[in-house]
Amino acid sequence: MANLTTQGIVLRHADYREKDRMLTLLTPFSGRVDALARGCRKPGSPLMSCAELFAYGEYVLYQGKGRAGVVSFSLIDSFYPLREDYDRLRYASYMLQLLEAQAIPGDRADKLFQLLIRSLKRLCYLPLEPRAVTAAFLLMDAALSGYRPRLSHCVRCGRRLGEDEARLFDAEEGGLCCAACASGGAPLMPLNSRELLWMKDVLQTGIEKTALPPADAPLPLLRKYLEGRLEVSPPSGKGLL
């Protein structure tokens, strides 16, 4: 079979035999790809840089009778600063684990791929609060995956909510619930006016342009919402607030 040249980023790796490593890659147009990097753990191997967590670059893959194999690699970014900040590393690892569970082999994932790369760059190179970056990642992931939350109307009765109304978030229905509809059904999570404004602003303008403080990012709510929708619970998400 012909070689496949694709951008990719390492979501997970596992040592294999003495000098090899199995990689789980996220690629834009082939989704999740498992590939073997032969000899990458050998000193001086040209594949050494391709087999580390967060390694982002251009992979040339060969698909044989079994799993794919890495033929060559050109590094674009290793996101090395993440390794120097434990908090940022935790948030970044959570993003990788969430997308590993979410991505499907063979399915196009270019929008999620670009979201991940942009989010990692924000964690690495911009003076943004990692908690807010992660909340924005979850919010945009939900929108790209077809779970954009409804933030203007009650998801139960459809009534448009006024600016001064108390708001509750229905994770099962995927949006706000008015006080009149709050009784019965699944437990609801409170969402204050500043958190709601932050979510709307990020969806409209992006995390880099919002002037609202990081404290307004409702990370626990967005974690519960998206993890529930995707039916996943990444181990690195434990303890993230």
Cα separation values, 171 from 85, 127, 175, 176, Å: 32, 31, 7, 9
Q: Which CATH superfamily is domain 4-80 in?
A: Nucleic acid-binding proteins (2.40.50.140)
Would you say residue 57 has pLDDT above 60? Answer: yes
Domain limits, the chain: 4-80, 127-235
For residue range 212-231, list pLDDT tens digits in order.
Answer: 999 999 999 999 999 999 99
**Candidate from 40-44, 137-141, 161-165 with smallest mean pLDDT:** 161-165
Average pLDDT over residues 142-153: 95
Entry pTM: 0.94
Mean pLDDT along residues 129-144 = 97
Average pLDDT over the chain, rounded to an integer: 93
Structure-model confidence comparison of residues 97 and 235, the more confident one: 97
What mean pLDDT comes out for the span 165-172? 87
pLDDT, mean of residues 59-78: 91
DSSP string, 168-211: EEETTTTEEE-GGG-SSSS--EE--HHHHHHHHHHHHH-TTT--
Predicted local confidence at residue 241, as pLDDT:
67
CA-CA distances (angstroms) from residue 56 to 3, 117, 187? Answer: 19, 8, 40
184-209: average pLDDT: 90
Across the range 233-238, mean pLDDT stands at: 84
